[in-house]
Structure 1
Amino acid sequence: MRITLILRCKYTCLWLAFLLCSTATSAIAESVESTLTLKKALASTLARNPQLYQYRFTIEALNAQEQTSALRPALALELEVENFVGSGAHKGFDAAETTLALSSVIELGGKRQARMSYSNARINQAEWGQKAATLDTLGKLTEVFIEGLATQANLQLAEESLALSQSILQTVKTRSERGAAPEAEVMSAQAALIRAEIRVASLQAKLERQKVLLARFWGETTPRFHSLTGSLFDFGSSSSFDQLYARALTSPALQVLASEARIRDAEITMARASGRSDLSWRAGIKRFEETGDSAFTAGISVPLFSGKRNKGDVKAALANRNAVDYAQQDLRLALHARLFEAWSLRKQSIAAATLTQNTAIPALEKALKLTREGFESGRYRYLDLIAAQEELLASKQALIDAATTALISQALIEKLTAEPLESKSALSIDTTLESSQR
């Protein structure tokens, strides 16, 4: 008896669920409201995940700050009155001198452009950060979904084990009633049945916990679905590691650090621009009440030795920029290691799953059938039958584990590369991520 599992290799943190929907008939998906597909889970998460919504407000705040950065120095209106309410000739306002003037600052060194570049770099970093966070969130969702499908497959296997235990118990009881089997074998078969029942109950509870974890991704505490829908063992094609690593070098995680480098560059420009002294100017009209005459006034102010006071800021900005370069190198090395581990593990798991499914399980199913027939005819012992059953169940469990590992590894690969392994069968990253930002 070949186990039928529901899981499919086309899962990815962002795109594989959409492939899942394209391979399943939409009519079935719409008619069964109690089931959850990965596509539906991803769409709900993109629409309602609280963590992803936070980035929208962050970007709104940065856009508002950019508007402030683009402003030129403000104009100030000054009114100054001198020589009034004094003594002697200056008593009252007869000898007062009133000045009405405008004043402002002339920024030198490209300070306004530096501020705008800094604001733009921060917005760019926030946008890439949103994409990286979206990939990370959907990657975690995909992993939980795959584990939930694996639990359903394990539950199905446990129910199969329970059915076998019930059948074996009935066979042992029949043989014991004929005096062909000792009472101890009946007791052992009953204990095996209890263990199978406990296993089923444990997996049912585990599946309920996983459904709650899934609902959390779109802000709900009570799942509105009863089961997960998917399929298994269509692993698809695989790219070479060099191709995958080339894709990973343009992923959002590295783009965040690239944006960080642009921010540091802008900080260096701002620090150097601050070393150029701004000119403060003032111009107005002065009226002399004593004579009734008026005159223009003008002034300019230049700070002295401001360049020397700014050297420390420039050195600090340069140091921060150099630190980003080393952080990028470290991230590339870590990315290479994680990607190779996932690529190698996926390849190994696919090979193990294929060999187990096509060779080991059919042989063990035949062995169990022959052992069962021999046990019923008295040619095999009870222990031989239990050993054959456990070996078959262990191989089916290994098959589930290998498939799960392959799918989770593939989801990690696609999260790190920000692209599906099969580009023709999935949506592009830009299309999907833009839907999360609207």
Structure 2
Amino acid sequence: MYRTIAAVMVAATLASTAGAQTALPPGIPAANPSSQAADAFSLENALAAGGMPSAPSAAARNGAASGPEGNNPAPLPSVAAATAGVGAATAARRVAGLRPNPELQAQVENVAGTGVYKGLRSSETTVGVALPLELGGKRPARVALATARLTRAQVQAEIARADLRLRITQLYIEAAAAERRAEVLSEQAGIANNAFRVSSERVKAGDVGPIEQQRADVLRINAQVAADSAARQAQAARANLETLLAVQVTGPLDRAWFERIDGYGPPRPIDVEGTLALAAAEADVRTADAQVRVARSLRVPDLTVSTFARRLEATNDTAAVVGISIPIPFFNNGSAFVAQSRSEQTQAIALRNLAVVDTRQQIASAQTEVANAAATARAAGGPGLAAAQEAARIARIGWSQGKFDQIALLDAERTLSQTRQTYVDALAAYHDAQARLDRLTTPAPTISGDDR
């Protein structure tokens, strides 16, 4: 009689536990497939909260709260710093286009002397204006350098936005994966807890020895510890996402997006010339070229033309005074600065060529990681997971009927749990690799410069 009751209890409790989701610890929202699409905090919501330009429309469709209605969220510090850099470079370009200011000069001679020069009787007062004249194309060269630096600042602002998008995406992936792991381990803890209760009943019925109950108790404790640890990690991952976005992340994360694997095939060749990394390197080369131009222009001395009106106190007459001054490049003729600028130009060109090689290698590695992670996720979430679930189902039935021992059941349950975790890890790796690939292949903005 006891054996029959125990067998029925095993089949009922373990089957229901495997088919239903165990309640998660506080702080981790339970998955509800019927409301996932409507209530999920999607990646688009997270990007909208982070101020990404392409995200607000998606956020509006999903009903995300990202600040007061009609207002865009304030940019995060990294983007704000890059935007301020563009503003500073824009102002520097205006400064570079300004001409030198004229000088107002005045002097009084032959005063406070002796004899006829006593007091102001023989004084000569001179008042005039001195105007520096830049030669050698200094102003156009200076404007070209400031324009190149402005272009570099604009590219850096796009890099900051792309890096922020990658950071938000990676934190979202980490949070979604952590919550999926917490769900898997919570289900495993529920199965282990029910297995312990069933083992206790079978020991009471005399079907098995006490060692089976002790083994089930150890596994129950370990499973609960793992589930609690995974729940805390999920809470921490969500808190990290909230800290970066400075908004509260409510509701479940988008499980449909996390479990979706886009079609993949042979890696397509990507032109690295249009990427942000190459745009930054090209901007550095143009800046170095403009710096050489400035250095060469500085080798040409400037002129200062002055015109004055001089009043002679003794005769009460007025005379004009015209002057011109030019520095003598005796100690510093500018050749050292030209040599320095040319060396920096050579360095910028070499770094640009290195960036081409590095970017190609990084893109190729990211494409391989995307393909490998997608293949692993498809296998673990498809035939691998189906086989593990079927093995666990058979083991539960066989154990309840006394055909399998507890070791076979525990091994099947462990395999199922590991397969589920492998599936989650592969999905996280796939999305992370895809996010890094998207970052590497982000197209550079079209920036028009004025090299006047």
Fold shared, TM-score > 0.5 on shorter chain: yes
- Going from structure 1 to structure 2, the CA distance change for 1:236 and 1:307 (only over 3 Å counts) comes to farther
Give the structure 1 partner of residue 334 of structure 2: 310
Aligned mate of 2:364, from 340, 360, 383 = 340
Give the structure 2 partner of residue 328 of structure 1: 352
Partner SS, residue 202 of structure 2? helix
Give the structure 2 partner of residue 191 of structure 1: 218
Matched, 1:225 2:250: yes
Displacement, 1:239? 7.0
Aligned mate of 1:234, from 249, 260, 270 = 260
Alignment-mate amino acid for residue 237 of structure 1 = G
Matched, 1:397 2:416: no
Partner SS, residue 50 of structure 2? helix
Give the structure 2 partner of residue 144 of structure 1: 171
Per-residue CA distance 1:254-297 (angstroms, 9 max, x = gap): 21221111111111011000000101111121111211221211
Partner SS, residue 274 of structure 2? coil
Matched, 1:53 2:58: no
**TM-score for both structures, normalised by structure 1:** 0.84
Alignment-mate amino acid for residue 133 of structure 2 = I
Matched, 1:210 2:237: yes
Give the structure 2 partner of residue 42 of structure 1: 47
Q: Is the 8 A contact 1:281 1:299 kept in 2?
A: yes
Per-residue CA distance 1:327-358 (angstroms, 9 max, x = gap): 11222222222221111111011112212222
Greater relative contact order structure (CA < 8 Å, 6+ sep): 1
Per-residue CA distance 1:106-137 (angstroms, 9 max, x = gap): 10011111111111111111111111122112
Distance in 2 between residues matched to 1:377 and 1:131, nearest whole Å: 64
Displacement, 1:430? 6.2
Aligned mate of 1:135, from 132, 152, 162 = 162
Partner SS, residue 269 of structure 2? helix
Per-residue CA distance 1:154-184 (angstroms, 9 max, x = gap): 1111122122212322332232222111111
Displacement, 1:388? 0.9
Give the structure 1 partner of residue 324 of structure 2: 300
- Going from structure 1 to structure 2, the CA distance change for 1:341 and 1:107 (only over 3 Å counts) comes to same
Unaligned runs of 5+ in 1: 5-23, 420-428, 432-438
Matched, 1:372 2:396: yes
Give the structure 1 partner of residue 141 of structure 2: 114
Alignment-mate amino acid for residue 50 of structure 2 = T
Matched, 1:125 2:130: no
Q: Which stretch shows the higher mean deviation, 117-126 or 230-239?
A: 230-239
Displacement, 1:234? 2.3
Aligned mate of 2:115, from 84, 88, 107 = 88
Aligned mate of 1:98, from 103, 125, 130 = 125
Distance in 1 between residues matched to 2:20 and 2:285, nearest whole Å: 53
Q: Percent of aligned pairs with the same residue?
A: 23
Distance in 2 between residues matched to 1:307 and 1:44, nearest whole Å: 58
- Going from structure 1 to structure 2, the CA distance change for 1:143 and 1:70 (only over 3 Å counts) comes to same
Displacement, 1:26? 11
Unaligned runs of 5+ in 2: 1-17, 22-32, 52-73, 447-452
Displacement, 1:252? 1.8
Distance in 1 between residues matched to 2:294 and 2:264, nearest whole Å: 47
Per-residue CA distance 1:356-381 (angstroms, 9 max, x = gap): 22212212212221121111111111
Displacement, 1:307? 9.7
Give the structure 1 partner of residue 409 of structure 2: 385
Alignment-mate amino acid for residue 298 of structure 1 = V
Deviation above 4 Å: which 4+ runs of structure 1? 1-4, 24-29
Displacement, 1:323? 0.4
Give the structure 2 partner of residue 160 of structure 1: 187
Partner SS, residue 245 of structure 2? coil
Displacement, 1:417? 0.3
Q: What is the number of residues matched between the two proteins?
A: 395
Partner SS, residue 79 of structure 1? strand
Distance in 1 between residues matched to 2:245 and 2:424, nearest whole Å: 28
Give the structure 2 partner of residue 19 of structure 1: none
- Going from structure 1 to structure 2, the CA distance change for 1:230 and 1:369 (only over 3 Å counts) comes to closer
Give the structure 2 partner of residue 408 of structure 1: 432
Distance in 1 between residues matched to 2:260 and 2:44, nearest whole Å: 17
- Going from structure 1 to structure 2, the CA distance change for 1:331 and 1:3 (only over 3 Å counts) comes to farther
Distance in 1 between residues matched to 2:36 and 2:192, nearest whole Å: 38
Q: Is the 8 A contact 1:3 1:396 kept in 2?
A: no
Distance in 2 between residues matched to 1:239 and 1:297, nearest whole Å: 82
Per-residue CA distance 1:36-64 (angstroms, 9 max, x = gap): 32222212222341222112222222222
Alignment-mate amino acid for residue 173 of structure 2 = I
Give the structure 2 partner of residue 278 of structure 1: 302
Distance in 1 between residues matched to 2:216 and 2:35, nearest whole Å: 45
Give the structure 2 partner of residue 21 of structure 1: none
Distance in 2 between residues matched to 1:348 and 1:98, nearest whole Å: 87
**TM-score for both structures, normalised by structure 2:** 0.82
Distance in 2 between residues matched to 1:254 and 1:138, nearest whole Å: 19
Displacement, 1:298? 0.5
Give the structure 1 partner of residue 203 of structure 2: 176
